[in-house]
Amino acid sequence: MNTSDLVAGTQSTSESLWSALLATLAPRIAPTALESWVRPCRLAGVDGDHLRVAAPSEFVREWVVRHHLEALQASARAVLGGDPRVTIEVDRDEAPAPRPASVATSAPPPAPNGRPLSIRRGRGRPRSLVTPHRNRLNLF
User: HSE-up of 124 (CA within 13 Å, CB side)?
Assistant: 2
Instruction: Give the SS3 label for residue 73.
Output: helix
pLDDT at 108: 60
pLDDT at 9: 46
Please give the chain's pLDDT, 140 residues, in tens: 444 444 444 567 888 899 999 999 999 999 999 999 999 999 999 988 999 999 999 999 999 999 999 999 999 999 999 999 999 999 887 555 555 555 555 566 666 666 655 555 555 555 555 555 665 565 55
69 touches 86 (CB < 8 A): yes
The full set of domain ranges for the chain reads: 11-90
| 11-90 placed in CATH 1.10.760.10 | no
53 touches 72 (CB < 8 A): yes
